[in-house]
Each structure stands twice: as structure tokens, then as C-alpha cells.
Chain A
Amino acid sequence: MEPCLEIRCLSAVLPNERRVLRSVSLAVQPGEVRALVGESGAGKTMIGKAVLGVLPKSVRIVEGEMLIEGEDLGRLDAKARRTLIGARTALIPQDPLTALNPSRRIGPQMTDRLVRILGWSGEKADKRIRQLLDEVQIREPERVLKCYPHELSGGMRQRVLIAAAFAAEPRLIVADEPTTALDVTVQKQILRLIAQLQRDHGTAILFVTHDLGVVAKISQKVSVLYAGKVVEEAQTADLFASPQHPYTRALIAATPRYTDPYASLKPVDETVLAGLADEIAAADRAWRPSHG
């Protein structure tokens, strides 16, 4: 089966030629959730932005390919790329406050995209949005549609954004730490909601998180990222059963368990980090940027 998203050997550099992505390869099959896990600064967001075509200006892709449903983004001109990304992908962002336009009401903000970009009729878009609001269990859609973003709670805003992401039936959703900015109690509900809609709509998700507990709950496959390099990838169940890479083992060991939440909060071992540093250095030495 053709992957919904395929990233092949993607490297990106900062203006000082430091690599932020180191020959990243990963694939997300249709209807599957792939978790992308790693500590802060590992480059998880960078990968998501690269796929969605919104990398910061300072970050330059120097090698690799990205394919959405078999279409190579690199071969398309800017306009065709935008259209493809707009039609087949969506983002569930980390911060539900800044991801909504503060000066527009929720309703027009949500329907606008369907009408203007996808050419739906206003009526059809409106119906669709209401259906999605129902799916994300918003009980007073009338009121919510008339609200400005700041009039809603964080959890409500994230529900709205989830509804908006699924509304246009994208094939792939990038979810960048969609629960990090929320209260712990709300986090679980939102996570369950995303899983529910993912199953109902059969959407593939690249799920960015730094929380292995979330990985275990939501994903079928997982890639472990360290310093912009995929150090291990596996079926989620296998990763927890038999982690191969020392870093993965250390991460799993560092994840607090419900039975004993305090005892296991240990930092990643020094020797593991030293080994990682060697690995990264070796990879950089072996790397010949194709641009010369």
C-alpha cells in the first residue's frame, strides 16, 4: 500500500550549517497513527513544519524527499504544493489560543476554509462544521459558533481545532503536542477524542509528543528522535516490549508509572548521552551534503 506520508532521508540546516534534521526517514500508512517522540529541541516540530511547508525562513532543506500519497512535494511548483498540502493535510496545533484568529468568530473562521479553499457552498460547509462540532462533543454549537476564541476555555478551543482539522477530510493530520498546553484532566479527554475521530474517519496522523504514555495510548508505530536523528523506529507494542536503542530504554525507564510515580523520575544516563553524541558525530562525519 502506498504510504500516506513518506519522508526519505530528509536533512535540514540552519544558516550556520548546523543540521537540525539528520537524514530523517519515516512513513505513515493510511489510517495509521505514527508517534514522533523525543525530548525538547529534538526537531519534532521541525519535521511537522517541513511536511506542511511552513518551515521558518532560516531553516533550509538540503536533501531528501517528502511524498504525500506518492506525490513528491519537491517536484511540484510552490502553488501546486500549497494546493496539495491544503487539500490533503491539516494541523492540530499545540497552543489552541494562538492557533485561532482572535478577531474572528469561531463559526466564520471554521467555514471560511471549506468555502474559500475547497469551494464548498456556505450551506454545506455550515452543516459539515455542525456535524464535526457534534463529533467533538460540543454541546452548544450555536453559542460556540458565535464566540470569539478568547471566550472559550482551552479545552473547548482545542475541540474546535480538532473539528476544524477533520472537517475537510484530510488524509493526513499532523498533531503537534496537541495536549501539552491543556490541563491534565482535559488532556485525557482530548486524547480520547482525537483517537475516536481518527478511527471514525480513518485519517493518518503524525502525532508529535514527548510523552511515552501518550505514545502507548494512541499510536501503532513510533519513531524516536534525538537531535534531529531517528534513533529507533518500531511498532509501538514492540518498542515498549523490547526497546533496541539505549536511549529508548533510558526514555522508557524515565517515564513515571502510575504505581510508583516518584521513584522512576530519573534523568537519562550519562553514558547513554555520551553514546548518542558519538552516534550523532559519526553520522555528521559520514554525511556529504548533496549540494556540495
Chain B
Amino acid sequence: MDEARISRRGLSPRLWLAGGWLLLALLAAIFAPLIATQDPLAQDLMLERLPPFWLDGAEPGYWLGTDSLGRDLLSRLIFGGRIAFIVAFAAASAACLIGSALGLIAGYFGGWADRIISRVVDVWMAFPPVLFAILLVAVLGTGLSSVIIAIAVIDWTRFCRVIRAEAMSQARMDYVESARIAGYGRTGIMLREVLPNVLPSVVALLSLEMGIAVIVEAILSFVNLSISTDDPTWGGIIAEGRLSIHQAWWVLVFPLATLILTVLSFSQFGEGLKTRFDPVLR
């Protein structure tokens, strides 16, 4: 039993691989100006479509090659990571806060609160999310904050549904009843007794949602609805890469790989954290 415990607590490869990649990507994004070898916006037609470093014709300092305008791909990916992470953290936290709070209230209190919140969620989920996002950004206007708001406004329902169900099953547990008998108030029970038990799910969903936010931001960039400035974004780079896939495959493949790896890491990291912090699974 002790061995199983150690391997789960200390050495879960899933947690460490995913966490490692996220940490690396995050640090790169934070220290982008120090790490990036080139100015991500600098165009140089002499250097266009340089291949990555292991192929013939590569130039030192342009590790992953350049795009059709001669901009350094790695530097653009690193700077694009900044926007990806800002959107991931801000949008996912906002969605998490709204959704979890409403889900907790609906699930724990039931009755009218639950009926109203659940109805709203049902209506919300009837909209196709990507279309909804595009529509919202079109209305709000492009820009970082619009993207964040759009994602939060669309995706809070994911938290709400899951946390409602969990809070509901916790609320039926005898320990909640015992707390009632002891004389605790309802709000106190919700926050002190029920919330800690749904927290592992909140954390897992939060991480998953960060991944989803990264994808949605990429999609919006891809259709040119995200950040209006010239700042590189992963979705934007993918869109450009798609156009030159036959001449320079790397401009498409590297950002795609980065995106997929990041999204996957977020979801795996969340699951790993959940297993680790869930007192019963642990």
C-alpha cells in the first residue's frame, strides 16, 4: 500500500510530464524577451522560409526556421505563448469562478435556485460554442479582453454543470446532515463542508478549461477575430502556416504541435492534480 502511495503521490509521470511542459512553456512566455533569439515581428525577405536547424540551409539563431516573411518561428511561438497563457489563466479563472459558484449554490441549495440556474445553463448550452464565441467577439470587437470575456461567458456552464452534480451528491451525505444537526448555518456548511469536497473537481476542470481557452483563442486567431494587433498568436501562426504548407511545412507543424501539447498537458495536469488532492482517491 505504501508503495502504491509513493508512486501516486511522488512520481505520477502524467503529472510531471504535463506539469513540466506547462512550466517550460510558461517560463518561456514570461521571459520571452530574454529567451527569444529574434524579434518576432522582424521581417527579412532574405531569410524567408528557412528550414529548422537540422535541415540543409538552416541558419543558426533560427532554430525552428522562418515563415514566408522571414520571421523567426521559435521567437513567434514563444511570444504567442504569452497571449495563450494570459487568455488561458484569465478566461478559465473567470469561467471557473462564475460557474463553480453558481453550480455550488444550485447543487447545495436545490429548489428555486437550482431550477433557475439549471434552466439558464440549458439555454446557454443550446448555442454551439464556437459560433457563440465568434458572434460574441464580433459584437464586443476584437482584442484580448473581448476574447477573454467571450470564453468566460461561454464556458462557465461547464463548471456549473459538473460542480452542481457533485455538490448535489455531497449535500445528500450524512456529514452534511450532521453539520445541520450540530447547528451550522447553510452557507457555512456549503463553504466549509461541501466546497472542500468538490474542490478537486474544480481544480481538474480549471486546468482542462485553460486548455480549452487556448484552443478557442487559437480558433479565434485562426479566423482573424482575436487580437487585432500584429502580436503573434498560435492560431495566427497556424493560419499563416496553412498557406505555405507545401513550401514550408514547419510553419504549420510546430505551432500545431505546441498547441496540442499544451492543451493535452493542461487536461492531464488537471486529472493528475485531482487524483492527488482527492482525499479518497489519494
Chain A contact residues, CB within 8 Å of chain B: 52-54, 57, 82-83, 85-87, 89-91, 93-95, 98-104, 113, 116-117, 148, 150
Closest CB in chain A relative to B222 CB, distance in Å: 41
Instruction: Pick from A53, A101, A150: contact of B197, CB below 8 A.
Output: A101
- Chain B residues, CB < 8 A from A148: 279
Task: Determine the residue in chain A with the shortest Cβ distance to B194.
Answer: A101
Q: What 1/0 flags go to B75-119 for Cβ under 8 Å of A?
A: 000000000000000000000000000000000001100000000
Closest CB in chain A relative to B194 CB, distance in Å: 9
Flag the segment in B157-165, B179-187, B235-243 that touches A.
B179-187
| Cβ–Cβ contact A93 & B174, under 8 A | yes
| Cβ–Cβ contact B178 & A82, under 8 A | no
Query: A102–B181 Cα gap in the complex (Å)?
Result: 18
| Cβ–Cβ contact A52 & B175, under 8 A | no
- Chain A residues, CB < 8 A from B182: 86, 90, 113, 117
| Cβ–Cβ contact B181 & A53, under 8 A | yes
Query: A192–B177 Cα gap in the complex (Å)?
Result: 26
| Cβ–Cβ contact A101 & B181, under 8 A | no
- Chain B residues, CB < 8 A from A54: 177, 180-181
- Chain B residues, CB < 8 A from A87: 183
In the complex, whether B48 has a CB less than 8 A from a CB of chain A is no
Query: A255–B150 Cα gap in the complex (Å)?
Result: 67
Query: Chain B binding site: helix, strand, loop or mixed by DSSP?
Result: helix
In the complex, whether B173 has a CB less than 8 A from a CB of chain A is yes
| Cβ–Cβ contact B183 & A85, under 8 A | yes
Query: A127–B196 Cα gap in the complex (Å)?
Result: 26
- Chain A residues, CB < 8 A from B197: 101-103
| Cβ–Cβ contact A100 & B181, under 8 A | no
Query: A150–B180 Cα gap in the complex (Å)?
Result: 22
- Chain B residues, CB < 8 A from A104: 193, 196
Instruction: Pick from A86, A95, A101, A150: contact of B183, CB below 8 A.
Output: A86
Closest CB in chain A relative to B4 CB, distance in Å: 14
Closest CB in chain B relative to A53 CB, distance in Å: 7
In the complex, whether B280 has a CB less than 8 A from a CB of chain A is yes
- Chain A residues, CB < 8 A from B193: 101, 104
Task: Determine the residue in chain A with the shortest Cβ distance to B173.
Answer: A98
Query: Chain A binding site: helix, strand, loop or mixed by DSSP?
Result: loop
Q: What 1/0 flags go to B254-282 for Cβ under 8 Å of A?
A: 00000000000000000000000001100
Instruction: Pick from A82, A98, A103, A150: contact of B174, CB below 8 A.
Output: A98
- Chain A residues, CB < 8 A from B111: 57
* Shortest Cβ-Cβ A-B pairs, 9 listed: A86-B183, A99-B174, A103-B196, A98-B174, A101-B175, A98-B173, A117-B183, A52-B181, A148-B279
- What are 23 A-B contacts defined by CB distance under 8 Å? A54-B177, A57-B110, A82-B183, A83-B183, A85-B181, A86-B181, A86-B183, A90-B181, A90-B182, A91-B178, A93-B178, A95-B174, A98-B174, A99-B174, A99-B178, A101-B175, A102-B175, A103-B197, A116-B184, A117-B182, A117-B184, A148-B279, A150-B279
Closest CB in chain B relative to A51 CB, distance in Å: 10
- Chain B residues, CB < 8 A from A103: 196-197, 199, 279
| Cβ–Cβ contact A150 & B175, under 8 A | no
Task: Determine the residue in chain A with the shortest Cβ distance to B277.
Answer: A103
- Chain B residues, CB < 8 A from A52: 181
Closest CB in chain B relative to A104 CB, distance in Å: 7
Closest CB in chain A relative to B202 CB, distance in Å: 12
Query: A87–B184 Cα gap in the complex (Å)?
Result: 11
- Chain B residues, CB < 8 A from A100: 175
Query: A269–B197 Cα gap in the complex (Å)?
Result: 48
- Chain B residues, CB < 8 A from A91: 177-178, 181
Closest CB in chain B relative to A112 CB, distance in Å: 8
- Chain B residues, CB < 8 A from A94: 174
Task: Determine the residue in chain B with the shortest Cβ distance to A116.
Answer: B184
Most chain A C-beta atoms within 10 Å of own C-beta, residue among B175, B193, B197:
B175
Interface residues of B in 36-75 (CB under 8 A from A): none
- Chain A residues, CB < 8 A from B199: 103
Query: A104–B170 Cα gap in the complex (Å)?
Result: 14
- Chain A residues, CB < 8 A from B177: 54, 91, 93
Most chain A C-beta atoms within 10 Å of own C-beta, residue among B173, B183, B196:
B183
Closest CB in chain A relative to B59 CB, distance in Å: 55
Query: A85–B178 Cα gap in the complex (Å)?
Result: 11
Task: Determine the residue in chain B with the shortest Cβ distance to A85.
Answer: B181
Closest CB in chain B relative to A246 CB, distance in Å: 35
Q: What 1/0 flags go to B185-206 for Cβ under 8 Å of A?
A: 0000000010011010000000
- Chain A residues, CB < 8 A from B175: 98-102
Task: Determine the residue in chain B with the shortest Cβ distance to A174.
Answer: B181
Query: A53–B184 Cα gap in the complex (Å)?
Result: 13
- Chain B residues, CB < 8 A from A113: 182
Query: A104–B173 Cα gap in the complex (Å)?
Result: 14
- Chain B residues, CB < 8 A from A89: 181
- Chain A residues, CB < 8 A from B174: 93-95, 98-99
Closest CB in chain A relative to B106 CB, distance in Å: 15
Given A85-B181, A99-B173, 15 more A-B residue pairs with CB atoms under 8 Å apart are A52-B181, A53-B181, A54-B177, A54-B180, A85-B183, A86-B183, A93-B174, A93-B177, A95-B174, A99-B174, A102-B175, A102-B279, A103-B199, A117-B182, A117-B184
